[in-house]
Structure 1
Amino acid sequence: MASIAEERVWEQLRTVRDPELGKDLVTLEMVKKVEIDGGRVRVHVELTTPACPLKEQIGRDVEEALRKIEAVEAVELVWSAQVRASRPGATVLPGVKNIVAVGAGKGGVGKSTAAVLLAYGLKRSGAAVGLLDADVYGPSVPTLTGVEGTRLEVRDNLIVPPQAGGVKIMSIGFMVDRDKALIWRGPMTHGVIKQFLEQVDWGTLDYLIVDLPPGTGDVPLSLAQSIPLTGAVVICTPQDIALLDARRAVKMYQQLNVECLGIIENMSYYLCPECGHRDELFDHGGAKAAAEELGVPFLGEIPLNADLRRFGDRGTPEHAFTDADENVVRSVQAVVEATAGQISIRSAQQAATPTLTVE
């Protein structure tokens, strides 16, 4: 039997392109090692995110390319993942590779729920994740994650963020009474965010998801400028009035030179759990059309579902990936993977995002 030259294997691997990043696996340094044992070739591939939506396609493309070598009898892929930083040289939170804001043009569209689902979906994939509740006027993350009423611990002059399901969480909700209304101006809010950035022991994270307040006013503007963002995700529902505000949110981020990673359509449709009838209560497809119009990615749709509501009320968001209706699990997971893919693209570009230094 003819032997397999390792150089020939690497040559073929250079023909395999990452569908999202647009470059070959060798150039992207995703191929870490090649092992040859007779007619068997083992390729070690390091993905740019453990939530990679294109893992199977990349695997098929690698096998197809290597099968063109006549002596190859079998191809084995060994997968790993290493989230890459989109913020090289960042002085604020240098241990955090990617900071992703989740915003909305208006309230009531499920922004906080979507932020929590993104955080727990990324954690479930194997990433190190933090969740910063910057919605200071309506801090719902402690309730949604089951850590409401937690007493904060301080160690070495840093706040230790509580953890729930392996996700590090920080919220103003830990510091004020549940029913207390915060009547703050922008500078006061900015001071709290400064504390959350500088005085919380976030450690090393692959992703920090930031739940921003809704709207395009003073508060989200200040926060977007203060946090060195990888990019922003905009949440909206399908009806026209929500889409109008979502467009404003996207344009706000564009004006701030913050990358809009995409739009998610929440409450996209309702599936009857008894008969499977689909009802588009708030219309459908508006977010996708808006994304195409604005030239930003469409990250997918999350249905209106009683399981998601129940898990949020109980503070068990991880169950959305295990115990919800199969269609819901599939939809939410697809949104998480699409978002992770856009973050990887942003990281590969290694473009510096302008920030306002927090003094």
Structure 2
Amino acid sequence: MSIHTIQDLQEVTARRVSPDERLFSADQEEIRQGWTTDIYFVKTREILRRLELAATPVVAEVFAGRPGLLAGTAEVKNLLCEAGVAVWALPEGEWFAAKEVVLRIHGSYDRFGIYETALLGILASSSGWATAARHCKEAAGDRRVVCFGARHVHPAVAPVMERAAVAGGADGASCILGAKLAGQEPVGTVPHAVILITGDTVEVARAYKQFMPPGSPVIVLVDTFKDEAEEALRVAAALGGDLHSIRLDTPGERGGVTPALVREVRARLDQAGFGHVQILVSGGLTPERIALLAEAGADSFGVGSYISGAPAIDMTMDIKEVAGRPVAKRGRIPGITAAPRLQRIL
């Protein structure tokens, strides 16, 4: 069944939206129908139709403003799947250079022009998040990196962000929908809230082991009430071989998680016979901090704001051919750009 998209300015004027009756994010149907597009694409559609040029075949190319790692092509494919156009794209997870063509569309402009705003936004944001995740993974080496960034962005885009992080190289995501979209199960331990309410870290650790599904790695926060090394030893003594990891999330008010703290906790666990217990670190991590903490003995990392707050990588769409004739705006080279790495996706 074909999707109805906005046809003209009259339809835009007639639409009524009340901020009192809904969340402010667009749902899938609103995006597919064109309600998140810039108004000038609706004006363009109306003008071209009145001039009987809407069916003109064109070739459009999308290029990046700066280098990065591509993500978002799978979602763009889903957006354009019923538009009746042919699409080529750089595969997700590939590095691209500044000005390199990452996507190309062949078809009648009227079939895809309404989606320019959306597809550029998808590629720009997803690639920014994926690039940040790859930087973290490169700093971590063979250690795990899990995206914990959902709380830093609007819930409407949290799944997009965490899926992009996985596409960029993160080993997992805590956002349920984001992980599912990446073909994974969500990962994560428990927040400080359960420890604060229960009143004792060891009691929570025992409850986690008892009540969580079999096979769930037991990972316990150890920075809520006591010294991190002391709490780590208490939890390890209580759970023994059932304890998979302790998590260090020391707040900035106490200096955050430092390499010295990781070294101390690692040494004290080893000395007490708990060498199997791994150390997961979270809280304000950057690639630079990840490298230092990995060297100190951290085994895995939960990264939030560095990924979620990554700037989008500007994407631009240019018409490069109209009815078989090479064209370009001033400053750009007319005609289809050589881009041998593109693969057909539609």
TM-score (norm 1): 0.30
Tell which structure's C-alpha radius of gyration is larger.
2
Is the helix fraction higher in 1 or 2? 2
TM-score (norm 2): 0.31
Is the strand fraction higher in 1 or 2? 1
